[in-house]
Amino acid sequence: MRGHVIDPSPTPQGAAAPATNVTRAGDVRAMAARRRRRLLGLAAVLALLVVACLLSVAVGAKQIPLDNVWHALFQPTGTEDDVVVRSLRLPRTLLGLVAGIALGVAGALMQGHTRNPLADPGLLGVTYGAAFTVVLGIYALGVTSLYGYVWFGFVGALLASVGVFLLGSVGRGGPTPVTLALAGAAMSNLLYALTAVVVLLDSQALDVYRFWKVGAIAGRDPDLVVQVLPFLVVGLVVALANAPGMNALALGEDVARSLGHRVGLTRGLGIAAITLLTGATVAVCGPIGFIGLVVPHVARLVVGADYRWILPYSGLLGATLLLLADVAGRVVARPGELQVGIMLAVVGVPFFIVMVRRRKLVRL
């Protein structure tokens, strides 16, 4: 390395120019090649997602021939198959799609902001915040409809996240990855305990909680998806805008600041995005684990350390994984079904172990 120390003589500007052009061409070519690879990969992931969506529409407890699925999607006439596809499978697939994207992106954000490869979107107490308000709504206010508890869950998720952020910001230096993780763990444990108290007191709350806790995308009203969609869209936009700042934060706070990034703002926006994405998803689907943990690692394997690429990849891979796990859950226990939350744990854990063994988790 020391041999090729640049030209030691004071080079006049003119003499340096030709060399610059040559090297620039080579450099630009290498960068273009990497960019093309990433775009091709993105196209491949997108294709995989389309396949997952089609499977999710085509496969289920009721066996529907493919041409009937097609018929239901594009020229519905109200046959029984049409009704099943359009009113059950399509909303379920759409919910799986948005929930998977949200959880994948939120996971990548969380791991990036905490610089912790084992962080998942639930780290800020969002999951238990939602759980607590859901059971509280049932117990104290007698909420029974799904609508009721979705909004309760969402508010709980937001409050828990804000609480963790404030708790983690107390003291000098403001919110840091460590204080946030500690505050999140403390808040989660507290809310978990409170949730346990409520479900002990109220068996109706326990019944709802049991099913909510597993995490599923089946049987949700299509309107719910529409209602939480704005929050998810805002969350995604904020997340993508957050990518350059996360790239800088990955080099350390001092470097980020000296490159002209506003560290507090970047971190605040990141947490806002995580809260919106995870909170909305948890409220509708219940806690669906694993996607936020695993998917960013897969994305990093493909694209390296650039969050402008990691985030889109994580979103698409998250949706793909969620839908495939959901489809698998419908197939393994026919004519019954396994909830996607259970399926993900069953499929996901061995996958994760293989990944950890094959390649050490990356340092963030």
Partner 1 sequence: MTAVSAVNSGGIVRSGSDEARLRAEALRLAYGENVVVDGLDLDVLDGTVTAVIGPNGCGKSTLLRALGRLLGPQGGQVLLDGKRIDRMSTKEVARILGVLPQAPQAPEGLTVADLVARGRHPHQRWYRQWSSDDETAVAEALRKTGMLEFAERTLDQLSGGQRQRAWISMALAQGTDLLLLDEPTTYLDLAHQVDVLDLVQQLHAELGRTVVMVLHDLNLAARYADRLVAMRDGKIVAEGAPGDVLTEQLLRDVFDLDARVVPDPVAGTPLVVPIGSRHRT
Interface residue list for partner 1 (CB under 8 A): 1-2, 4-6, 8-11, 19-20, 23-24, 26-28, 30-31, 34, 115, 172, 241, 244, 247-248, 250-252, 254-255, 257-262, 300, 304-306, 362-364
Q: What whole-number distance in Å separates Cα of residue 79 and Cα of residue 84?
A: 9
Comparison of 357 and 363: residue with beta carbon closer to partner 1: 363
Give me the least distance between CB of 301 and partner 1, in Å please.
9
Contact present, 128 and 160 (Cβ < 8 Å):
yes
With respect to partner 1, which residue has the nearer C-beta, 2 or 75? Answer: 2
For every residue of 240-252, DSSP letters joined together read HHHHHHHHHHTT-
Which residues are within 8 A (CB) of 68 and not within 5 positions of it... i.e. 6 or more apart? 79, 81, 82, 85
Instruction: Name the residue nearer to partner 1 (CB basis): 170 or 197.
Output: 170
* Residue with smaller CB distance to partner 1, 130 or 303: 303
Smallest distance, partner 1 to C-beta of residue 46, A = 22
CB of 31 to partner 1, least distance (A): 6
Smallest distance, partner 1 to C-beta of residue 20, A: 6
Q: How far is the CB of 293 from partner 1 (least distance, A)?
A: 17
Contact 278, 122 (CB under 8 A): yes
**In terms of Cα–Cα distance, which of 234, 322, 250 is closest to 286?**
322
Q: Toward partner 1, which CB reaches closer, 48 or 250?
A: 250
**Residue 130 CB coordination number (10 Å):** 35
Taking the C-alpha atoms of residue 161 and residue 151, their distance in angstroms, rounded to an integer, is 15
Cβ atoms of residues 25 and 294 within 8 Å = no
Name which of 243 and 319 has its Cβ closer to partner 1: 243
Please identify which residue in the block is written with the tokens 């979103």: 315
Question: CB of 343 within 8 A of CB of 328?
Answer: yes
Least Å from the CB of residue 70 to partner 1: 41
